Amino acid sequence: MKRLLKIVGATLLLAFLYFSFWPVSIAPVAWHAPESQGLVDPYAPNDLLQAATAIDLGHHEGPEDATLGYDNSVFVTTSGGRVLRIRNRKVEEFAVTNGRPLGIEAARDGSLFVANAYAGLQRVAADGSVSNLLESVDGSTPIYPNNLALADDGKIYFTEASSKFGAYEYRGTYNASLLDIMEHGGHGGVFEFDPETRTARILLDDLNYANGIAISADNQFLVIAETSNYRVLRHWLAGPRQGETDVLLENLPGFPDNIKTGRSGRFWLGLAAPRNALLDRLADKPWLRKVVQRLPAAVRPRAVPSSHVIAFNGDGDILMNMQDPDARFPTLTGVLETQRSLYLTTLFGHELPVIAKSDL
């Protein structure tokens, strides 16, 4: 009996020491999470996304972002490093980026620009050839670009999700995002890159997982998704408020992901997952977040499958709220709006959902 008690005592001591002192990758920062209001107006539940049908991508997976190309084809980034071209629902490989392409935008000259989490900013020519534009801002540290927006003057605005938790180093964008969100250390930023001079300058820093970014049709301001703070920022590029930043949307009911400039002054935003009550309760308890990080990965907070996208304008008014309670296409990152359709991009899966506007 005494021996058994000793074994139990030693086991409990080892467990205490492990959960209290075992090194982890994160150094959590205390913060105050806004109280979640849940799915209430203007985010009340509905089933509008059930009108979506799927474009089969074959063996390609994770259509993270999409853009409308020079020839009215839809170009899609995938987790396997490919950029796909979709015409009349037919899918073909268009380019190989040798990394994990996330955001993608089409330029007026027929080329594409890609935010590659492993390789930096890239340009894809009209023939599918790929060239690297920017791999580092300081000349040594690789950047982790997440999303990008193209200005009329040729400048590229892009978000760096995290300067600490790189996607390549931490075995993928999803794993890196979980670490950055758990730490909440303000490692994200927004940069302006000039392709002519090949120089970049920082516009915003200390963001908590800088994610989607889009530019207004008149190029007056940027809108930026700050995922870990459940909000969207507006940064003024021109006009009397040039250089200022304010909060456009706050206390969102989920984790904001990609932002895409739509039609008629709309911006589209994907809410990749709903808020996590445990994560919010641990916001001001950094020591406990370390304890949670020492748990097996399977029991740590993770994204819950859901399907939710919204549209808003430059004043922060919610114009559209679309959901699928069955989450047939979960983890939606954003929306590409064309004249006739809404293409729903996703983090996982082998399908690209699409909704004909006539079906809404």
What are the extents of the domains in the chain? 58-303
**Measuring CA to CA, which residue among 76, 124, 123 is closest to residue 333?**
76
Q: How confident is the model at residue 299 (pLDDT cuts 50, 70, 90)?
A: confident
pTM over 0.85: yes
At position 28, the amino acid (one-letter code) is P
Q: What percent of the chain has pLDDT over 70?
A: 94
pLDDT, tens digit (0-9, with 9 covering 90-100), for 140-182: 788 999 999 999 999 999 999 999 999 999 989 999 999 999 9
- pLDDT band for position 259 (50/70/90)? very high
Q: How far apart are CA 36 and CA 283, in angstroms?
A: 13
Give the model's pLDDT for residue 13: 52
- Position 4 scores a pLDDT of 63
Q: Which of 59, 72, 112, 258 is nearest to 177 (CA)?
A: 258
In the prediction, which pLDDT does 303 show? 79
- Comparing 22-26, 39-43, 245-249, 270-274, which segment has the lowest mean pLDDT? 22-26
Per-residue pLDDT for 16 more than 80? Answer: no
Fold for 58-303, please state it.
Answer: Neuraminidase (2.120.10)
Look at residue 295 in the predicted model and tell me its pLDDT.
84
CA 52 to chain centre: 21
CB atoms within 10 A of CB 56: 10
pLDDT band for position 251 (50/70/90)?
A: very high
